[in-house]
Structure 1
Amino acid sequence: MFKQLRKKFLILNMSIISALMITAFFIIYLITYNNIQSENVNKLNSLSVRSPTMDVTLSKMGETVLSLNYSMSFHIQVDAHGALQKVNSFIDMADETYKQAANLAWQEKKNNSVISLDGKDWMYRISESPVMVRMDENGKMQYSRDSGQTWTVDDPSSIDQKNNLYQIVFLDVTDDSKTLTGLLITFVSVGFIMLFVIYFISMYFANRAIKPISISWDKQKQFIADASHELKTPLAIISANYDALMTNEDDTIRSQKKWLEYIRNETSRMTKLVNELLYLAKNDEAEVKLQYSSFDLSQAVKNIILSMEAVAFEKGVKIIQHIEPDLTIKSDRDKINQVITILVDNAFKYTEQNSYIEIRLKKVKKRILFSIKNSCKGLSKQDLPKLFDRFYRTDTARTYENGNHGLGLSIAKTIMERLGGEIYAESDESESITFIFIL
């Protein structure tokens, strides 16, 4: 189940990131492409009304000087059938190359398109060659084109139908094409690398995200198993005692009182267990409201210790007190008393005969520290955190004897977390264990 959940998380995460990354790269590429295309189109428009010779001049020393506006370009004039008429270029290329350029452009006839020629990319624009008008020696209107052809007509409206010539301007866009190709390759390479890295990062966070769920799931299964086990024992005893009662149906209640006492004891035990489970469930959902008020914590601890003196006397346990007087706090009195009672009761249940319990209460800076230490066989550092797990018991054999279900410390921890405090345990494996809470 958790493998499938992790797989779905990875697929969803990778899909979203991939979609965002592809969209971002596409927008950047599209903007770059449009900017370059727009710039080249503007250059072509400018070249259509300007000859390459306008960008090349001769200095006084006879050297060729290029204008700042110079672009790698050339002009070709063709007739109405696409036949080459004139070439205006400073680029050293063979005549066949110019003819091939004219043929390719004339066949496609798509302005601002790109053709490949001799390993270079050229953008072209086709326009009708401009007609220049001047007066001849006889005072007639003489028309001419860049090709050098001149003619005289009586009807100016017939110019478009006679001697039609077209100008094709070619602009070298090889570097721009390489730039766009390089940008595309960079995006693809970076995209794959990023996806590769993101995959492992997503895997790491997926495992971290699922781990608490997995732990919670395992704890829930363990909780159900432990609760079932705890309920199974008293139910079995009640059933056995019921069978004993039914075996002697004719006997009086007084004669079978012991069986009824067993049933009552086990019913009380089950009631306590169910109430503790309900309490934990309500606290987990924060359904129990806290009632804050100021009270003397020192006196509250002393009262709880006084209530346990009879138990201490019977067990021969010495209570050592280090209670700092008049420590007043603002908290939930009942919940604090419950935590202290749980810790004190736990200490008496597990301390050894004729030993001691040491209780301390003091103020450390702005915090209140309560600790209770009892002599017993300690726990290893690995087992200490488990003390606050539900149904955890260090001595399984004595559990049924002392009526402990292993929920007291879990309840104490839940209360302290609700109050914003901290509770933990320390142990000397050879002789004692200490429970501490801080408010």
Structure 2
Amino acid sequence: MVAPLKLGIAGLGTVGAEVVRVIARQQKTLAQRCGRGIEVTAVTARSKAKKRGLDLKGVVWAKSPLALANDPNVDCFVELMGGADEPALSAIEAALRAGKSVVTANKALIAKHGTKLAELAERQGAALNFEAAVCAAIPVIKTLREGLAGTDVNRIYGILNGTCNYILTRMEQEGLSFEACLKDAQRLGYAEANPSFDVDGHDTAQKLSILASLAFGTKVAEGAVSVEGISSITPEDLNAAQDLGYRVKLLGVAVRTKTGIEQRVHPTMVPRSSSIAQVMGVTNAVTVDGEGFSPITLVGPGAGAAATAASVVADIADAARGLRALPFGRPVAKLGTTKKAPMERHEGGYYIRLLARDLPGTAATIAARLAEQGISIESIVQRHPDGSREVGTGKKSVPVPVILITYATTEDAVRRALAAVQRDKVISGRPQVIRIEKN
């Protein structure tokens, strides 16, 4: 009879506590599916006295994460503390050096140290599983690493942050400002007291760097991701997007180009007919565009104790089965390197919203500056409050909103054209620019 897999769990917050409950509740099912039992034998947490509603009778309390990782009675070290560095890093390294399986939900640590840890796991013949680090219950890591192992991925993109998707959904559906939606998201617990990590795009960037490594066989490089957040998005942009057949989402996008892998996080207009445009609220989604098949979109809960615990337990089950997949799908020695691609080289369509001054020649000046940079306009809309005027009549001095949708062009061309328009002083304020991502 095969001995049960003995777990040491570091971190008993909402996710860690839920993992303990799931293992206790699904003990019989897990044993049947894995061919052996799974039991929690040791834990560690900041406070032993805290009430968690868990039955931990007979479970050893380790003095520290490092002590837990080195415990000879632990076969699989489960790290659920969080944080990009210590104490999680040293504890995981110790467990891997001992040849133990490691399961973690720590996206920050994998984004920063994933390549180094994968190399250590490979050298020691140990498992390093981190499905829950990206999109919680959505099995995107295994899909890329195992399900699509024989496929060349050309592009992967998705809604990787539920907070931002919730805010943009509320703004669109209720016409609220970014500030009002953020305040409500904080009240409901969807956003932190300091929400910058989410709304400025850094959470998405960490997750994207992990997905890009799996999709394109490169070393994890969070610093190679260009990042913009959603704080500049207004209800006017969302209304215009709806009129033009688009919806605004904060996307993480990694795409293979002629010059390398382009990784970017920014507000994006996507066709309303696309699968990813239908994903609302706190839900996450990832689309994989590969050779030989139509894009695949995976949708599901991207956060929450139950969703995250489900992925953690699935990784533990793999360890119990004795599965040892390479963490990033390839030997570390075969992983390529990637550098931050200058956004100026990005090619695609653009949404541009200008506040045009109502002066003679304004429209002609804007058109001329765009033409100088080789930018072709797919559509132009003048959103007058009374619907009665054209830009350039000079009848009123109030700036008129003008919305342009371009055909594919470069970011550099758009920036040069808009800089020239601003120097001409035919617009008020800064132009709003949102990239368009086609299906």
TM-score range, shorter chain: under 0.3
Larger radius of gyration: 1
With a CA cutoff of 8 Å and minimum separation of 6, indicate the structure with the bigger relative contact order: 2
* TM-score (norm. length: structure 2): 0.18
The structure that is helix-richer by fraction is 1
